A and B are shown apart, each in its own frame.
Chain A
């Protein structure tokens, strides 16, 4: 017998199911007051440094129908590319937001600060981006993706550079639809399928 590798295997994922909001977004589930303070209500508070933006969009399934029961989490640094807890990070940026789609329109909205570029181990920094994690009924393990911005220089980004089929890069780039407003649609499956990450 060789030496045993005493690593523990990661706990397997399971779908968050249709009622994920009870636990993680109680007010959205119709249960306001479950907690004195809910987590991830907004990624920014008070006097934030940088540009406040709004990103709207929908999460579409393979039939083109917008999911009404997904829960999305976003995680990002501040306008200078510093994450909460790092030295010099903007105290007005908590970085985390939890949001879901409107029950009628199927559209979500994320109001946040536009992030700065972040360093990477690949030499070139990552272009400004927001990390997303999507869970819902029918999704067995949370889907990771990123929002990049049409009006930033994404040409040297180490992650986008790894996408072989160049038209697919476009699925990670939010389109400008107004002053400090962007649209980012997520397609889980089929034509224009969003690039999801294993990272």
Chain B
């Protein structure tokens, strides 16, 4: 196997801190001690691959996949689309993108969600797809509602879609959330605020994309995702003196 070089180390400045007391659950779930840093090895530079044969035809259509095509979900019809790239701006083709979300009323189809907004009998809330050869993906879904959560006295999550990506190696593994342009709850959310740098938080906010909105059918939002890249070198990949 050709050594494609180690992964570019994570710039943790871009990421949330583990401990952020306004997000109360993080208080007891954040390590106190520093992370152990090391250059990546095979365990991080390899990762699972997924073939099209494992995906169903409606897996990336959340409007229809819960009812198996029988009836559409209720809510604002949207296309969520974008590219998965690496830090070197190279497309990440054939990688698995998975999403999950609440329905139009902010209710999740999960046995632990007891919010009084009703379930939509035609909405499940999960989808998945593979990026194409250009790293491009699309989901058709409904815009999720905001919902309350037991954190501070009156906290509400902004509208969001959870996103999980593999890339081509386990060390690129990333879970994040996509927010929607113009949502006033973003600035009030302690989970969004875990990201220290406002320009980094803005990268999680998907703009309305009229160019990809289909007349008389759906609006579009564009969400590009950047994963860690590899540091290629013409020199032998071996540390000296170790």
A interface residue numbers (CB < 8 A to B)? 6-24, 26, 29-31, 34-37, 39-40, 61-63, 65, 67, 69, 73, 75-77, 83-87, 94-96, 118-123, 126, 129, 131, 133, 135-144, 146, 158-159, 162-163, 188-190, 193-199
Contact = CB atoms under 8 A, between A and B. Distances in A.
A30 B110 contact: yes
B126 A138 contact: no
Contacts, number: 269
A14 B16 contact: yes
Interface in B143-163: 162
Contacts of B226: 8-11
Contacts of A198: 9-10, 12, 35-38
Interface of B: 1, 6, 9-12, 14-18, 20, 23-33, 35-44, 46-50, 54, 56, 59, 65-66, 85-89, 96, 98-100, 108-113, 124-128, 162, 164, 170-171, 173-177, 191-192, 194-195, 200-201, 203-204, 225-229, 237-239, 242
Most buried by B among A21, A138, A158, A194: A138
A80 to B, nearest CB: 13
A9 B203 contact: yes
A193 B175 CA distance: 23
Contacts of B28: 61-63, 65, 138, 188-189
A159 B36 contact: yes
B126 A139 contact: no
Contacts of B201: 12
A83 B98 contact: no
Contacts of A40: 48
B108 A19 contact: yes
6 contacts: A10-B227, A14-B175, A14-B204, A31-B109, A126-B42, A139-B29
A158 B37 CA distance: 12
Contacts of A122: 238-239, 242
Nearest to B238: A121
Contacts of B108: 19, 22
Most buried by A among B113, B170, B227: B170
Contact of A140 (B23, B59, B110): B23
Contacts of A63: 28
Given A14-B204, A69-B112, A139 B164 contact: no
Contact of A13 (B44, B87, B175): B175
A35 B87 contact: no
B31 A138 contact: no
Contacts of B174: 10-11, 13, 142
Top 6 closest pairs, chain A to chain B, by CB: A23-B100, A138-B25, A138-B29, A140-B16, A198-B35, A62-B28
